[in-house]
Structures are given as C-alpha cells and as structure tokens.
Amino acid sequence: MSKHLQKDLEHLHRSLLKLAGYVEDAVISATAALRNHDPDTAQSVIDGDNDIDRLENEIQDECLKILALHQPVAIDLRRISVVLMITTDLERIGDLAVGIAERAAVLARPPHVPIPDQIEAMTDRTLRMVRASLDAFVSGDPMAAARVIRADDEVDRDNDDIIRDLVAEMKQSPELVEPALSLFSAVRHLERIADHATNIAEDVIYLVNGEIVRHHPEAIRA
C-alpha cells in the first residue's frame, strides 16, 4: 500500500467514525425525547439530520476519489466497499432517529400514552448493537460482529412484546389509539435500527474474511 493511499484511508476512517458519532447521538436524543415527552429535543434531532446527510455525501465522494486515484485491490478495495455500505446504513439509522423524534413530538401532546419501561431496555440493546458493530469494524473482529448479529434476536423479542402490549392498550383505551400508533411506529423504527447494526456487523465479516453472510444466518448461528 502506498503512503498516499494509507493516508487517504486513515482520513476516510476518521470521517466514518465522525458520522457514527453523529448518528449515535441522534438515536440517544430521539429516544430520550420519546421517553420524556420532550418536543425540543425531538426538534434538535430533526434539525441535525442535515449534518448527517452532508457527511454521508462527503464520505461517498472520498470513496469514489480513492477508487479513481489509487485503483485499490484486495483488502483495500473491500475496505472502501465496506465503508460505502456502512455509511449508507448509518445514514439510514439517522433517518430512523428522525422518525422516532417526529413521533416523540406527536407524543409530547396529550392525550399521553404510557411509555413502556421495556422501551428503555430495547433502546439500550439497540445502542449496544450499533456501538459493538462499529467497534468490530475498528478492531477487525469478525467474532464480535457475529455476536452483534445474534443479539438482534433479543431486540426482535422486545419489539414483539411491546407491540403486543400496545395492541392490548388500544383495545382497552380506544381514546389512546392515535398516540399508541405513533408509539408503535417509533418502536418499529428502533427495531429497524438494530437491523442496520446487523448489516454493519455482516459487512465487517465480509471485510475481514471475504465471506458474504447476509441472508445466510446459518453461517453465524452454527
């Protein structure tokens, strides 16, 4: 690897981690706004999405310039491809955080539907998945990535439990149907964030092992 390519890849790496920080902050703030019925925090998440979109575009431009200028091969080519895929997943997580914030703004207005305690546990699990998938990328650890993929089952169970309770709440209190549907949507967005963390973990395995495990769960759970 040439010194120029190494320097460009290091800069790309720093840009990706900066984007990850923005996205993680957005998820934390959006879910806090949801739990606390806080429209101001929700609006800050919505306003901050432009920064995430701008950085996503910058990273994609960096990747294309590196491909054109250095014509990397083997592991370096895989790394750039994975950065492109992870960037897309991070941007979509940012969009989902905005979706949660939008629902939080609605839920800040009465009538207030009770926010299930289990949402906090689901949020913690989801954020751990996002952080762990990025840590696996930084350390090049496919075993850590595989643990992230397996952890998605727990978030799926949280989602099912919360949705079931929300349906029961709507049946019992028809006047809460509209806010409960907003909460239903926010929970689904949280579950989708965990799915994108899973995608990132799968990309790490591809980067390190050259093995495509997406759509092949038996390769992880075996």
CA distance 198 to 196: 5
Q: What is the pLDDT of residues 33-69, one digit of tens each?
A: 999 999 999 999 999 999 999 999 999 999 999 999 9
The whole-chain average pLDDT of the chain stands at 93
Q: Is the pLDDT of residue 113 over 90?
A: no
What pLDDT, in 10s, does the model give residues 152-194?
A: 999 999 999 999 999 998 899 888 899 999 999 999 999 999 9
CB 45 within 8 A of CB 29: yes
- Which residue type sits at 27? V
Tell me: pLDDT of 215 over 80: no
Helices (H), 71-176: 74-107, 118-139, 142-172
Least confident of 2-6, 53-57, 131-135: 2-6
- What's the rounded mean pLDDT across residues 187-208? 97
The predicted model scores a pTM of 0.93
Instruction: Delineate the domains of the chain, giving CATH numbers in brackets.
Output: 3-221 (1.20.58.220)
pLDDT of residue 176: 87
Percent of the chain surpassing pLDDT 70: 96
